[in-house]
């Protein structure tokens, strides 16, 4: 609010040579308590007030006398662009008994108006009325409980919302009698630490309180009460909205092949194929796990999709924009495991990089680290991992300082950690630290109803990669897929379908395309899953080598290249099989 917004325009003035008569005539035509006095350039130099005029007349001074000796020179004035930051400044001016009005000057120093007490009061009243309406609307429409009290706790104002929740809270009542658990004294004394939970009958409220302070003295308090159940519902809604938006963004990144660039992953919950009850339950558990930062232990046989599930959990969490770092606990040499996980400082050991190297945990800071085959981690390393989980900090090999990290740990194993713990091959304390949340992926043989969906998915992908258009599988193939024990689980199914698509030359995959000699022979596979996998794998390998050699016209170099093996390895495999040797080693 600026001075020019509340001034009353004035187009009358006097100069030092003006007479008492001029002043008297000026006051007859203007309802002012003071008239500006200007110099020859029109700039304000003083004020000649009614009191000045009355004093001069009472002293018998002639009407023809100039006002030069009698006007006020040391006066207060405002510039037009003077800003009143709040009403307190204006009220402070109004309470000054020496000032009846104050002149306002333009940028050139010429008087343009005056602020009178009456005009300022009218302006204040207009704004007070507006503020009162705004405050009333707040108390009427605010979606939370509002209470205003005096310094003794007597209620002055109650919002409509609170009146619906607590009809007993009325104007004139004592707030401490209605809400006995409310720490009103703390609020009034300014030591409130809110928000806090306050119970009233069967309801629980979240209460915030603020003291009303005027002129350095507490005059009352404003209380804000919200239904705890509604806050919980709102929080749940917001969390769901954020999750929906996050899933949509992750899926968009995945479709645009940008997910791997963002965090090093390629799988989401959309990648989990299956509609069986067991798989739906797995998805439900994993989605719940994604909402927290707790450690998750994923159990499952080889090929069940443990890493896929881990990536899906990461991409459904609020860490999805940060790295997903995989560590294969079997593949890391024991002597290098600590440096690989926690990093090392320069010169920590022979062959170390000059400037050191960050470990997997540092690389995963802010994101997720996936410890695959955790059951094979050496015992000495387990104790160091336990410390990282407990303290949330690491120390590089050869380092003297620790570094705090924020990493979510997902671990997976196909071993019985409970049994390993009993045998002393896995730390008991680490076992319980890892098993905060546990998810067990079922083997494929326990949810064979998902095989048609998996088959369709793998078939479509292989068709796209190979340029073929295979519509499905023969009934005999589907019967085999449903009755086979699948010791290699989904990964084995994926490999068999990929191989079958390569060899298939019809509209549908036949049993011969699977690399199996006869259906009768396959019945034996169901009796011994381990033997079945071995026999199927060997026969499939021999069949593959034979067909590839036919395709290349017996050219072993080309065949080895197509098979992705060396020429020497191909010769070894031919020598180890009499049938292949007879046909291709002549």
Mean pLDDT score of the chain:
82
Residue 298: Cβ-neighbour burial (10 angstroms; 0-12, 13-18, 19+): buried
User: Residue 238: what pLDDT?
Assistant: 61
Q: Which residue has the tokens 């069940």?
A: 304
248 pLDDT band (50/70/90 cuts)?
A: low
The answer on pLDDT for 258 being more than 70 is yes
Distance in angstroms (rounded) separating the CA atoms of residues 540 and 206? 67
Between 244 and 14, name the one with better pLDDT.
Answer: 14
User: Residue 237: what pLDDT?
Assistant: 58
Provide CB contacts within 8 A for 11, sequence distance 6+: none
Distance in angstroms (rounded) separating the CA atoms of residues 507 and 183? 79
Residue 275: Cβ-neighbour burial (10 angstroms; 0-12, 13-18, 19+): exposed
Which among 9-13, 121-125, 548-552 has the top mean pLDDT?
9-13
For the segment 105-131, the average pLDDT, to the nearest whole number, is 82
The whole-model pTM stands at 0.56
User: Residue 97: what pLDDT?
Assistant: 47
The alpha carbon of residue 351 and the mean position of all alpha carbons in its chain are separated, in whole angstroms, by 42
> What are the structure tokens assigned to 420, written together?
């390993």
Residue 248: Cβ-neighbour burial (10 angstroms; 0-12, 13-18, 19+): exposed
522 pLDDT band (50/70/90 cuts)?
A: very low
User: What domains are defined for the chain?
Assistant: 3-124 (3.10.580.10), 143-230 (3.30.450.20), 257-440 (3.40.50.300), 446-551 (1.10.8.60)
How do beta strands 296-299 and 437-440 pair? parallel
* β strands within 202-283, DSSP E: 203-214, 217-227
Q: Which residue has the tokens 């940028």?
A: 107
48 pLDDT band (50/70/90 cuts)?
A: very high
Q: How far apart are the first and last CA of the chain?
A: 104
Region of residue 462 (phi > 0: left; psi between -120 and 50: alpha; otherwise: beta):
alpha
- Tell me the DSSP string of 64-108: TSBSTTTSB-S---EETT-B--SHHHHHHHHT-TT-SEEEEE-TT
The answer on pLDDT for 89 being more than 60 is yes
User: Residue 175: what pLDDT?
Assistant: 80
What's the DSSP call for residue 469? -
The alpha carbon of residue 501 and the mean position of all alpha carbons in its chain are separated, in whole angstroms, by 44
pLDDT one-digit tens code per residue, 129-167: 888 788 777 777 777 778 888 888 898 888 887 777 777
Distance in angstroms (rounded) separating the CA atoms of residues 224 and 195? 9
For the segment 254-274, the average pLDDT, to the nearest whole number, is 82
Burial 147-159 (b: 16+ CB within 10 A, else e): bbbeeebebeebb
Q: To the nearest whole percent, how much of the chain has pLDDT over 90?
A: 35
The answer on pLDDT for 239 being more than 60 is yes
User: Residue 255: what pLDDT?
Assistant: 64
Q: Which of 67-76, 178-187, 315-324 has the lowest mean pLDDT?
A: 178-187
Contact 378, 392 (CB under 8 A): no
Q: Which of 157-171, 435-449, 495-509 has the lowest mean pLDDT?
A: 157-171
User: Residue 327: what pLDDT?
Assistant: 92
Contact 44, 36 (CB under 8 A): yes
Region of residue 470 (phi > 0: left; psi between -120 and 50: alpha; otherwise: beta):
beta
Count the Cβ atoms, other than its own, within 10 Å of residue 414.
17
């Amino acid at each position: 609010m600026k001075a020019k917004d509340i001034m009353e325009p004035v187009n009358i003035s006097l100069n030092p040579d003006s007479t008492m008569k001029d002043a008297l005539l000026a006051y007859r035509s203007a309802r002012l308590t003071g008239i500006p006095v200007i110099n020859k350039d029109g700039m304000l130099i003083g004020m000649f007030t009614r009191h000045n005029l009355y004093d001069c007349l009472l002293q018998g001074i002639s009407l023809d006398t100039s006002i030069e000796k009698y006007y006020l020179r040391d006066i207060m004035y405002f510039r037009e662009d003077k800003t009143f930051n709040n009403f307190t400044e204006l009220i402070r001016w109004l309470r000054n008994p020496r000032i009846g009005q104050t002149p306002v000057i333009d940028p050139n120093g010429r008087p343009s108006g005056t602020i009178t007490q009456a005009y300022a009061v009218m302006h204040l009243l207009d704004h007070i009325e507006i503020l009162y309406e705004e405050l009333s609307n707040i108390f009427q429409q605010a979606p939370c409980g509002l209470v205003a009290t005096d310094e003794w706790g007597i209620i002055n104002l109650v919002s409509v919302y609170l009146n619906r929740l607590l009809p007993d809270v009325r104007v004139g009542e004592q707030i401490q009698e209605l809400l006995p658990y409310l720490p009103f004294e703390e609020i009034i004394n300014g030591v409130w630490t809110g928000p806090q939970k306050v119970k009233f009958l069967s309801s629980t409220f979240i209460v915030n309180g603020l003291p009303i302070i005027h002129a350095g003295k507490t005059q009352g308090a404003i209380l804000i009460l919200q239904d705890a159940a509604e806050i919980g519902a709102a929080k749940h809604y917001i969390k769901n909205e954020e999750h929906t938006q996050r899933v949509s963004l992750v899926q968009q990144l995945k479709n645009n092949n940008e997910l791997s660039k963002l965090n090093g992953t390629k799988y989401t919950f959309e990648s989990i194929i299956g509609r069986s009850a067991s798989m739906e339950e797995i998805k439900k558990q994993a989605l719940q796990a994604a909402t927290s930062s707790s450690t998750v232990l994923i159990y499952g046989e080889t090929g069940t999709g443990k890493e896929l599930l881990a990536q899906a959990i990461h991409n459904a969490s609020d860490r999805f924009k940060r790295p997903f770092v995989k560590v294969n606990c079997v593949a890391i040499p024991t002597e290098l495991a600590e440096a690989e996980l926690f990093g090392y400082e320069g010169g920590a050991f022979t062959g170390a990089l000059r400037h050191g190297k960050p470990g997997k945990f540092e690389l995963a800071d802010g994101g997720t680290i996936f410890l695959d085959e955790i059951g094979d981690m050496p015992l000495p390393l387990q104790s160091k991992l336990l410390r990282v989980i407990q303290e949330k900090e690491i120390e590089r090999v050869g380092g003297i300082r620790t570094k705090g990290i924020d990493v979510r740990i997902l671990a997976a194993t196909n071993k019985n950690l409970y049994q390993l713990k009993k045998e002393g091959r896995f730390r008991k304390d680490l076992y319980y630290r890892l098993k905060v949340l546990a998810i067990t992926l079922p083997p494929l043989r326990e949810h064979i109803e998902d095989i048609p969906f998996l088959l369709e998915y793998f078939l479509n992908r292989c068709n796209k990669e190979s340029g073929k258009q295979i519509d499905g599988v023969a009934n005999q193939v589907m019967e085999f897929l449903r009755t086979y024990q699948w010791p290699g689980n989904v990964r084995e199914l994926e490999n068999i379908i990929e191989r079958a698509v390569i060899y298939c030359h019809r509209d549908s995959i036949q049993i011969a395309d699977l690399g199996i000699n006869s259906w009768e022979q396959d019945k034996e596979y169901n009796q011994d899953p381990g033997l079945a996998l071995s026999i199927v794998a060997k026969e499939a390998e021999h069949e593959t080598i034979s067909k590839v050699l036919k395709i290349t016209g017996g050219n072993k170099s080309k065949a080895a290249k197509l098979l992705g093996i060396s020429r020497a390895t191909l010769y070894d495999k031919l020598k180890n099989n009499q049938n292949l040797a007879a046909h291709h080693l002549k």
